[in-house]
Amino acid sequence: MRYQFEDYALDTDRRELCRRGDVVRLEPQAFDLLEYLIRNRGRVVSRGDLIASVWAGRIVSDSAMTTRINAARCAIDDNGKAQRLIKTVPRKGIRFVGTVLEEEAGGAEVGSRPSAPYPSLPDKPSIAVLAFTNMSGDQGQEYFSDGITEDIVTELSRFAELFVIARNSSFRFKGRSPDIRQVGRELGVRYVLEGSIRRAGDRVRIAAQLIDAVTGAQRWGERYDRELKDVFAVQDEVSRTIVSILMVHVNKAEAERTLLKPPATWQAHDFLMRASDVWSARNADDPHEARRSLYEARRLLDRSISLDPNYARAYAMLSQTHLVAWAQPLDEDHLNPAALERAHRFARKSLQFGPDLSIAHAQLGGVLSFEGQHEQAIAEFEKAVALNPNFTDWWFGMALLRAGEPARAITVIETHIRYDPFCSPWALGQLGLAYYTLREYSKALPPLRELALRVPSKRQGHVWLAANLAQLEQLDEAHAEAAEILRIDPKYTIDGTQRKLALFKRTEDIEHFLDGLRKAGLPEK
C-alpha cells in the first residue's frame, strides 16, 4: 500500500518514506508508528493502541514513546507545537489529521480523505486560487502577496457563472509545492490559478498561470509589471481574463459592475491587508496571543480608516473584531453590551459605504443574530448571497439555527463546506448542533466529534458533544466529556449556558439542549 499526503509518500511494501521522490531516513519503529497512525486516521489512537500494535504488547516507557512520536513528526516536517499532521488530543491520544490518498502497489487509487470521498466537480467552471508566492525576499511582505491573492478570489467570486473555492481552503496549500492534480482532487475543482508577486519600492511584478487540474496542462499565463497604484487594475484584468477563458459568454453588465471599489488611497488598502493577515493568522487556542492579534488588527484597521474614512471593507473587519471579542473570553469586552453595540455600529458603517458589499451584509447579519433579531439577521445574509452567488458563510447557518430553522441551516452549512472543504471546525459544530436540534443524534455525532478533536482546548465543542452523547444514551462517554468540560472550566454551569442560549428564538430548542446537558451530568448551578 502507498499513502500520499502533502509532498510525502509512505510505501508499506518497500517500507520507505519519500518526500518529492527522495527517501527520508526513518527508524523502523517510527515508520511503524507513522503507518499505524495513517491507517487509523479516522480516530484518536490511544497509548494502549500503540503499545498493542507498534510494540506488540511489550512494556514501553513514556519517554520512549514520545521519542518515536517526535521522530515520526520530524520526518514529515511536523513538531509538537505546530501539530500540522500528527495532533495530540489531551488525555486521549494522538491522531493523524492530514489528507491522504491511498494507492495499491500497482498504482490503483483506492481511498482518499479520512472521513469522506473527494468532492465531485460542480456543473459549472470551478477554480481554486492558491496563495501567490512572495518573491520579494522579505517575509514582512507576506501579507501583501496574501492580500492580492485574496482580492483575486473576491473578484472571481462576483461571477455567478463560476464556482470559486473559499480562500480558507485554497490557502491550506500555502508554502508547499503540491501536485496541482492532487489539489484539484482535494478541492473538487477543474482549474487552479497560481502565481507569484515581487514588490520593490513603488513597483510590483505579478505573474499568474491558470492550470487544468485534471490534465495538468497550462491554459494561460501572464506577467504584469506595474506601479503599485495600478495593482487594482491588474487584479481586475487577471479576473476578467480567467472568466473569458473558462466561459463562452460572460454577462456584460456583471462583468462591468464594480462590486468592490478600490479605496481612495493605496495606503488604506495596504493597512487593510496587513490587518487581514494578522487577524486570519491569530491563534485562538492561546488567549494571550489572541488578544495581541485582536489589538494589532484593530490598530491597523484604524490606520486604514484614518486614510480612507469611507472604506467599507475596513469597517466590516473592524466590526468582526468587536463581535468576536464580545463572544469569546479575551478581555473585559466578553458579553459586554458596549462591545456588541460597537460591532453593530461598525457593521452599519460598512453597509453605508458599501451597500453592494456581500461581507458588509453578512457582518451585520452576524451581529443581529447575537442581538436576537433573527428575521433581520437572515434577511441580511440573504442579501449577501443575492449580491454574490459564490458567497457562503457558516455564520448564516448559525443564524438560521438560532432562528429555529435547523433544516435550512444544514443546507447552508453543507454548501459552505463544499466551497470551503477545509472550513473552520466551528462550522462542523453548527452542523452537528442543527442535526441535534432535529433529534437526529446519530448524524450529529460525527461533526461534533470532529469539532472536539480539532479544538480540544475549547469548552464548547465538548459541551455540544456531551449533550448529544447523552441523548444517544452513551452515558459513559457523555460523563467523560462532562469531566473534560469541568477540567477546562471548573466554574461551568448549565445555568450559565442557559443565559447564553436565551438568544435562541424557540424555547423548546433551549430546553431540548439543556436536557442533554443534565443527562450528561453537568452541574445545574
Does the structure show a pLDDT above 90 at 349? yes
Does the structure show a pLDDT above 60 at 18? yes
- Burial-class residue 448 by CB neighbours within 10 Å (0-12, 13-18, 19+): buried
CA–CA dist 396, 202 (Å, integer): 40
Q: What is the CATH number of domain 266-391?
A: 1.25.40.10
Give domain limits for the chain: 2-111, 126-258, 266-391, 409-525
Going by C-alpha positions, the residue among 190, 157, 192 that lies closest to residue 172 is: 192
Task: Look up residue 331 and give its three cell numbers.
Answer: 478581555
Does the structure show a pLDDT above 70 at 264? no
The DSSP line for 241-266 is: HHHHHH-S---HHHHH--SSPPPSSH
Q: Please tell me the number of Cα atoms within 13 Å of 394 on its side-chain side.
A: 23
User: Confidence band (pLDDT; 50, 70, 90) for 239?
Assistant: low
Phi-psi region of 473 (alpha: psi -120 to 50; beta: other; left: phi over 0): left
Task: Look up residue 385 and give its three cell numbers.
Answer: 448571497
pTM, to two decimals: 0.65
The CATH class given to the 409-525 domain equals: mainly alpha
Task: Look at 284-288, 360-364, 480-484 and tell me which has the smallest mean pLDDT.
Answer: 284-288
Mean pLDDT of 22-30: 84
365-411 pLDDT, tens digit per residue, is: 999 999 999 999 999 999 999 888 878 899 999 999 999 999 999 99
The 8-class DSSP code of residue 132 comes to P
Within this chain, domains 2-111 and 266-391 share the same CATH topology: no
109-131 pLDDT, tens digit per residue, is: 433 334 445 777 887 788 899 98
How many CB atoms within 10 Å of residue 334?
A: 12
Looking at every residue in the chain, the average pLDDT score rounds to 84
CA–CA dist 408, 189 (Å, integer): 25
Q: What is the CATH number of domain 126-258?
A: 3.40.50.10610
Q: What is the CATH number of domain 2-111?
A: 1.10.10.10
Task: Look up residue 197 and give its three cell numbers.
Answer: 508577486
